[in-house]
Amino acid sequence: MKLRELGEDRLMADLVAGLKSRADVIAGPGDDCAVVAAPGEDRLLLLKTDCVVERVHFRPNDKPSAVGWKAMARTLSDFAAMSGVPQFALVTLVSPPDRAVRWTKELYRGLRQIADRFGVAIVGGETSSTDGPVVVSISALGSVERERWVSRKGGKPGDPLFVTGKLGGSIRKKHLNFIPRIEEARWLTKNFRIHAMMDVSDGLGADLPRLAKASAVDFEIDEQLLPRNRGSSIQEAINDGEDYELLFALAPNDSAALQKKWHKKFPRLLLTRIGRLDRLSTIHHHPFFHGFVHFT
């Protein structure tokens, strides 16, 4: 069956049927807005939206459940970047009317899987037809303790730079099934003085300069140290994008303890010191650093 044969109300009823809720959800899908309880005033609210577009972020023949996973994971990864806890999500689905209902249900299955895994309630959705490619846009709301949120701005000259996992070649598979580093980010800010953090979505080559610029510092990287996925060159590890790993700068004195404790806590996830932040006046050459550029 095609979407145009089902109609919007029945489609939405079908899609939201299997969704899990949370105790702080007062009104979920089906009304004009979703209504949720506010966290205590000791917490700050975090908001983020991101989208995936057919033929840009996924291929027409990719599994729709993986497309749903990716769409949600991209947004959740930004909560990890700030050491936040995502709680509620809204889904906007823009789809051609001749798309199979089954495709859409599988998309939602992927969305639900990752939402459930991270305790996120899907509290609303919107659909629209289009004569173009499918667009899935996810907005999420979460929170973080006032003293634990991390921006890109706090990096200081001399801070060691770390990256989780491995970089490069994500397009071969990982971009559709990656795990947002929420647990890792929460552990980091609980135990160490993280000065600046972000997730690597456009490639280290684009994102590290953003972190450095926001912190008003420069950076120095040993390219030989970059943790690379199998089959990826140094240049690919820097520029491929879609790694969704954490990149962070921390207090120099915490570096040794972090390296010691990380391995115990996350034995299956690499943590690599790739370089350090430096004063802005220092002249560095970053020949490979341009990363994924949108709109090309």
In the window 47-76, what residues touch its own copies (CB under 8 A)? 47-53, 55-57
From the list 14, 22, 149, 187, which residue makes contact with its own copies (rule: CB under 8 A)? 149
Taking alpha carbons only, the member of 184, 133, 148, 183 closest to residue 163 is: 184
Question: In angstroms, rounded to a whole number, what is the distance separating the alpha carbons of residues 274 and 271?
Answer: 9
Question: In angstroms, rounded to a whole number, what is the distance separating the alpha carbons of residues 132 and 112?
Answer: 25
Binding region for its own copies (CB under 8 A) out of 107-115, 139-147, 251-259, 267-275? 139-147
Report the site for its own copies in 151-180 (rule: CB under 8 A): 151-153
Q: Report the residue number, 132 or 158, with the smaller CB distance to its own copies.
A: 132
Question: In angstroms, rounded to a whole number, what is the distance separating the alpha carbons of residues 2 and 120?
Answer: 29
> Is 208 in contact with 289 (CB distance < 8 Å)?
yes
Which residues lie closer than 8 Å to 56 by C-beta, 6 or more apart? 133
Query: Could you say whether residue 208 binds its own copies (CB under 8 A)?
Result: no
Report the site for its own copies in 5-44 (rule: CB under 8 A): 6-9, 11, 26-27, 30-41, 43-44
From the list 16, 66, 114, 135, which residue makes contact with its own copies (rule: CB under 8 A)? 135
Q: Report the residue number, 25 or 221, with the smaller CB distance to its own copies.
A: 25
String marking each residue 256-295 x if it binds its own copies according to CB under 8 A: -------------------------------------xxx
From the list 17, 60, 119, 129, which residue makes contact with its own copies (rule: CB under 8 A)? 129
Query: Could you say whether residue 139 binds its own copies (CB under 8 A)?
Result: yes
Structure tokens at 154: 């706090």
From the list 16, 19, 46, 226, which residue makes contact with its own copies (rule: CB under 8 A)? 46
**Cα-Cα-Cα-Cα dihedral of 21, 25, 29, 35, to 10°?**
-170
Helix axes 255-265, 182-191, angle to 10 degrees: 140
Shortest reach from residue 30's CB to its own copies, in Å: 7
Query: Could you say whether residue 119 binds its own copies (CB under 8 A)?
Result: no
Quote the Cα angle for 66-175-103, to 5°: 20
Shortest reach from residue 260's CB to its own copies, in Å: 28
Question: In angstroms, rounded to a whole number, what is the distance separating the alpha carbons of residues 58 and 38?
Answer: 35
